Chain A
Amino acid sequence: MMNHTIGFTTSIPVEIILAAGRVPVDLNNIFITSGQAAQWVEKAEEAGYPRNSCGWIKGLYTAGLLTQPEAVIAVMHGDCSNTQALMETMQLRGIPIFPFAYPYDRSADMLTLEMEKLMRVFQVSWTQVEDVRRDLLPLRQLCQELDRLSWQENVLTGAENHYYLVCSSDFNGDPQKYARDLEEFIARAQLRRPFQDEVRLAYIGVPPIFTNLYEYVESLQARVVYNEIQRQFSMPFACQDIIDQYLQYTYPYGAFARLEDIQEQIHLRQVDGIIHYTQTFCFRQIEDMVFREKLDLPILTLEGDKPGPLDARSKMRIEAFINMLKF
């Protein structure tokens, strides 16, 4: 039983939860690091989730049930079209739910309203939230430094970059400890010899459900030097206030909002090719059309369903893609 924890289904203004003295828990991270991710998906299927629905949503459902947070903030717009049913089935199991929606048109007014609603729920003020935001700034800068070590100093594996940035959605529930871990890790990483990659890759799309993607890529003398969404979770931008921060955050605002950021970063990081990961049964598979048309680099669209290691076919496709880029 985890009291005073607030679960959420994708990045939300975590500053509000922290200002309220609660522990933020990204249910995605709980699910994928549980060591039993595949069983959790099966558990949701046994409960009635269709086999032909997203593995992440199923994992989140079980994560919610097993961790029993005080409440779950469900992102109803700007993440996943299945969240509504996820919210309803969690409600069915007695978990208190608060909906949150990122406005598709990126309107500051609408976002302000949504955040005010959430602040009312947790009984915190703008000043309190701003204080937390400012307290987190050094931590967010550490995330940026970690990311820079990945692509500029070339001393981080793709998996390390992924892990630390993906955890910045909830700071593993404890921002201070996360900051200490990050500092120690950065200090160690700075001493490493740089990777000599033959191929530099960008990874765009939601975090992979595969457990060994980055390792496999590195076994082929290639390396992921840009994890798009994971980096976005760390909010790597200078901003005036909390509203501005969550307006600059690209992920909830559709493919075109993301595109701008991706174009800038792939150019900056001088990548040779792009892996676009989408989850089986996800609407983002359709958005692949946008990225293929608008990005000038070779793209491999990779699809994952159940948690676990890469299957033979995905390995074959990754290998062929990297080889294609080498020649």
Chain B
Amino acid sequence: MLGMDLGSRNVKIMEMQDHVITAQLSFDTIAFYRSYGKTGAGNLRIDLSELGLAQNQPLVATGYGKVSVQIEGALHLPEIQAHVKGAVYQTGYQDFTLLDIGGQDTKIVKVRGGRAVDFLTNDRCAASSGRYLENMAGVLGIDLEELSRYSLQPVELNSTCAIFGETEIIGKIVEGYPLAELAAGINYSLYRRFAGMLERLASDLIVVSGGVARNEAIVNIIARESDRQVMCLPEAQFNGALGACIYGYEKFSK
């Protein structure tokens, strides 16, 4: 079973056999489309053997680019449902709020009885996404791993725009704030952008997925500020692809 999550920043592919993960692949979205996208038509013709994967296995696609996957028999699954399926499977829980902070957007889904009952996503700007953290880490000249270490004594960053945020952080650098406080400020500013949505769809348990789940500082901030139990998925980045596999098992076994 193949689950393919065609995200805005990365394409994630998960292969499962009898519900056991047998392969996980991640590609930069642009590079992936360049290699596999058929010119003009916007379609993807994927040779699974080129990816080192067995041919002739069922495939479920999710994410922005899912409709461009032109493989015979491929199923398409909306990303919210894919993420919920993945999170329910990974946690074993039925009631929680899923927070997925991806490359270019944030999704917050209220899950009850294992189903999405409500969801919110960030507004039209990418300021509450992993892309924002990447940009800001770049300004500080550190990598995402280092950025994720700091959550205490944050500098105040007010800009609601990812680009103006850069200008603002440069201002703080000039004012002489230490790196730890600048980094904490960046993590806090991301938190504030989704905090309102998280509160509106809150549950006792908050499950975090997406690349930003690896950011320990963000996870600490959510736990501290929301006073709720916070859990990160083991396969945070592959949660959508995993959910696609699970959906595939449900559909193809019928």
Q: Does A96 contact B (CB under 8 A)?
A: no
In contact, B124 and A323 (Cβ under 8 angstroms): no
Find residues 53-106 in chain B having any chain A CB closer than 8 Å to their own CB: 64, 78-81, 105
Known contacts A305-B124, A313-B105, A324-B117, A319 near B78 by CB under 8 Å: yes
Q: Does A320 contact B (CB under 8 A)?
A: yes
Q: Does A280 contact B (CB under 8 A)?
A: yes
Q: How large is the interface on B (under 10, 10 to 19, 20 to 34, 35 or more residues)?
A: 10 to 19
Find residues 105-144 in chain B having any chain A CB closer than 8 Å to their own CB: 105, 115-119, 121, 123-124
Nearest residue in A to B77 (C-beta to C-beta)?
A323
List the A side residues contacting B115 at CB < 8 Å.
324, 327
In contact, A317 and B121 (Cβ under 8 angstroms): yes
A323 touches which one: B78, B117, B121, B123 (CB < 8 A)? B78
Known contacts A298-B118, A312-B64, A320 near B78 by CB under 8 Å: yes
Find residues 278-327 in chain A having any chain B CB closer than 8 Å to their own CB: 280, 298, 303, 305, 312-313, 316-317, 319-321, 323-324, 327
In contact, B64 and A316 (Cβ under 8 angstroms): yes
Task: Render A195-206 as a binary contact track against B, CB cut-off 8 A, 1 for contact.
Answer: 000000000000
Nearest residue in B to A220 (C-beta to C-beta)?
B78
In contact, B124 and A320 (Cβ under 8 angstroms): no
List the B side residues contacting A316 at CB < 8 Å.
64, 78-79
Nearest residue in A to B80 (C-beta to C-beta)?
A320
In contact, B81 and A313 (Cβ under 8 angstroms): no
In contact, B124 and A303 (Cβ under 8 angstroms): yes
List the B side residues contacting A305 at CB < 8 Å.
124
Interface of B is mostly: mixed
List the A side residues contacting B124 at CB < 8 Å.
280, 303, 305, 313
Cα distance, A298 to B123, chains bound together (Å): 18
List the A side residues contacting B121 at CB < 8 Å.
313, 317
Cα distance, A319 to B64, chains bound together (Å): 11
Known contacts A298-B118, A305-B124, A323 near B64 by CB under 8 Å: no
In contact, A320 and B64 (Cβ under 8 angstroms): no
Nearest residue in A to B120 (C-beta to C-beta)?
A301
Cα distance, A31 to B126, chains bound together (Å): 29
List the A side residues contacting B117 at CB < 8 Å.
298, 324
Cα distance, A317 to B78, chains bound together (Å): 9
List the A side residues contacting B80 at CB < 8 Å.
320, 323-324
Known contacts A280-B124, A313-B124, A324 near B79 by CB under 8 Å: no
B116 touches which one: A303, A317, A320 (CB < 8 A)? A320
Find residues 41-84 in chain A having any chain B CB closer than 8 Å to their own CB: none
* Closest beta carbon of chain A to B70's beta carbon, Å: 18
Cα distance, A63 to B218, chains bound together (Å): 48
Task: Render B3-21 as a binary contact track against A, CB cut-off 8 A, 1 for contact.
Answer: 0000000000000000000
List the B side residues contacting A313 at CB < 8 Å.
64, 105, 121, 124
Cα distance, A319 to B115, chains bound together (Å): 15
List the B side residues contacting A324 at CB < 8 Å.
80-81, 115-119
List the B side residues contacting A312 at CB < 8 Å.
64
* Closest beta carbon of chain B to A299's beta carbon, Å: 8
Task: Render B150-162 as a binary contact track against A, CB cut-off 8 A, 1 for contact.
Answer: 0000000000000
Find residues 250-288 in chain A having any chain B CB closer than 8 Å to their own CB: 280
* Closest beta carbon of chain A to B157's beta carbon, Å: 20
Nearest residue in B to A319 (C-beta to C-beta)?
B78
In contact, B123 and A303 (Cβ under 8 angstroms): yes
* Closest beta carbon of chain B to A304's beta carbon, Å: 9
Given contact pairs A303-B123, A319-B78, A324-B118, enumerate 13 new A-B contacts (beta carbons under 8 Å): A280-B124, A298-B117, A298-B118, A313-B105, A316-B64, A316-B78, A316-B79, A320-B78, A320-B80, A320-B81, A323-B80, A324-B80, A324-B116
Selected A-B contacts with CB under 8 Å, 7 pairs: A298-B117, A320-B78, A320-B81, A323-B78, A324-B80, A324-B115, A324-B117
Q: Which residues of B contact A (CB under 8 A)?
A: 64, 78-81, 105, 115-119, 121, 123-124
Closest 9 CB pairs of A and B: A320-B80, A320-B78, A319-B78, A323-B78, A324-B116, A312-B64, A323-B81, A327-B115, A317-B121
